[in-house]
Structure 1
Amino acid sequence: MKSFIKPINYEKSKTRKWKNDIGRFENMTYLQGEDAYLCANGRKLKAERTYQSKTKTGYKSEKTYYACEDCTGCPMKENCIHGNHFKKPMEERTKHLTVAKKFLRQRQEDRKRITSEEGIELRMNRSIQAEGAFADIKADMNFRRFLCRGTENALVAVDLLAMAHNIQKLHHKIQHGTASRHRIPVKEAA
């Protein structure tokens, strides 16, 4: 299975503010042979250690910790190092960052998929279909609240609503002769 869902930061990463932020590792040059990042001032952030982290849900990920050797006298330090809740003054701090390489690789693959022609078409159709289904159920079927108690009864009510919506949609497609068409091409929608 392939996912064509936008990452959380997809829209934000297209903004000028994100692209001009020199403190983000996404905007730094990665030196693959040395496993280091090159900051805007030309200083290297070398990999110091790799460690395992575990989330609340139990997912384990491997992260690499990068740190700059020396940031003293850097004119870009205020723009590069973020965070105001440190006991150390800005002059004594050095730039460091943490990168989950597997996550980064998966995110890059996702970005390629969603920006492909197929990804654009699927995302456009999903936004049309999902919003329309909620609108039909709430407005056309006048469903505003569950009239039963318990999770099982609510699931039965949702299943009945979904079946009614699908039958109504199929009837509409048969009436208009579009039963064989499943996706709207991008050129028609634009």
Structure 2
Amino acid sequence: ELHLIFHVSLADSGYGAEENYRYMEEDNMEAYVKYNRFHIEHRKHYAPNPFSTEGMYYNKEQDFYVCPMGQHMERIGTKHRKTDSGYITESARYRAKNCSGCPLRGQCFKATGNRVIEVNHKLNAYKKKVADLLTSEEGLRHRGRRCIEPESVFGQIKYNMAYRRFRHFGKDKIAMDFSFFVITFNIKKLCKMLLKGGCNDLHTLIKHLLEWILRLKLNTIVFLSYKQMKIAT
């Protein structure tokens, strides 16, 4: 579930991919979006495996890695992969010069020949930036809210209100389908808040609802205008 608030993006680790991080960066969004190993890396006593790429020393100026035995792993090329959405990722490939006879070979890798590693430097840079955001004071506040606010709403929508599948096909129709449902969900929630606040008069309740719907309409017009402007540019 992706929750956008103006230029702040909140999402779980399922969205922690290079493609999404790049999109959010180019769209000037602050990405409070975890990646799949974020919680593991930020445990109190976490230490990276010395045989993994995260645990090896990297010389950025000369572009080589150093294995636990002190051998330099020089860059030998670049590997490209295409995701299901068509996005192309780029990973640098590094190879050790001579792994034969190494006493740590059994712990390091089991393939024949010299060890080859692949590193996505662009994704690692995004992860570093995201980790700094998520561990900041603002990031801790967003993380605390995200796991409470969206999850309970999705639970109510899927289980209490039995909205488990879309009724239409195509992105535009699905967006319309879900938008109408969200509007009715918010009206239902607003009615409950007004009644809890002591608004028992039907005329006053309808008045508050109409005022809220008017604000919603204006906000929707502004959002759609902004969206059309982004598409045009």
What pairs up with 1:171-186 in 2 under 5 angstroms?
Answer: 171=191, 175=196
Scaled by the length of structure 2, the TM-score of the pair is 0.59
In the alignment, the residues of structure 2 paired with residue 110 and residue 127 of structure 1 have an alpha-carbon distance, to the nearest angstrom, of 17
Q: Match of 1:25, SS? A: coil
Give the equivalent residue in structure 2 for 1:6: 34
1:24 pairs with 2:52: yes
Cα deviation for residue 160 of structure 1 reads 3.5
What pairs up with 1:68-107 in 2 under 5 angstroms?
Answer: 68-81=96-109, 88=112, 93-107=113-127
Give the equivalent residue in structure 2 for 1:114: 134
Give the equivalent residue in structure 2 for 1:37: 65
Q: Match of 2:58, SS? A: strand
Partners of 1:21 and 1:79 within 8 A in 2: no
Q: Provide closer, same or farther for how the CA distance between residues 94 and 15 of structure 1 changes in structure 2, counting only shifts above 3 A.
A: farther
Q: Which amino acid aligns with 1:31?
A: N
Where structure 2 has 5 or more consecutive residues not aligned to the other structure, the ranges are: 1-28, 198-233
Superimposed CA distance per residue, residues 38-92 of structure 1 (whole angstroms, 9 cap, x where no aligned partner): 111211111122344433432223321101111122221111115xxx5x4xxxx
1:151 pairs with 2:169: yes
Give the equivalent residue in structure 1 for 2:74: 46
Query: For this pair of structures, how many residues does the alignment match?
Result: 166
Give the equivalent residue in structure 2 for 1:134: 154
In the alignment, the residues of structure 1 paired with residue 165 and residue 50 of structure 2 have an alpha-carbon distance, to the nearest angstrom, of 54
Cα deviation for residue 11 of structure 1 reads 2.8
Task: Using the aligned pairs only, state the percent identity.
Answer: 25
Where structure 1 has 5 or more consecutive residues not aligned to the other structure, the ranges are: 177-190
Larger relative CO (CA 8 A, sep 6+): 1 or 2?
Answer: 1
In the alignment, the residues of structure 2 paired with residue 107 and residue 7 of structure 1 have an alpha-carbon distance, to the nearest angstrom, of 7
In the alignment, the residues of structure 2 paired with residue 45 and residue 15 of structure 1 have an alpha-carbon distance, to the nearest angstrom, of 29
Runs of 4+ off more than 6 Å: none
Q: Provide closer, same or farther for how the CA distance between residues 2 and 149 of structure 1 changes in structure 2, counting only shifts above 3 A.
A: closer
Q: Provide closer, same or farther for how the CA distance between residues 154 and 97 of structure 1 changes in structure 2, counting only shifts above 3 A.
A: closer
Partners of 1:3 and 1:110 within 8 A in 2: yes
Q: Match of 1:21, SS? A: coil
Q: Match of 1:131, SS? A: helix
Cα deviation for residue 170 of structure 1 reads 3.9
Q: Provide closer, same or farther for how the CA distance between residues 172 and 143 of structure 1 changes in structure 2, counting only shifts above 3 A.
A: closer
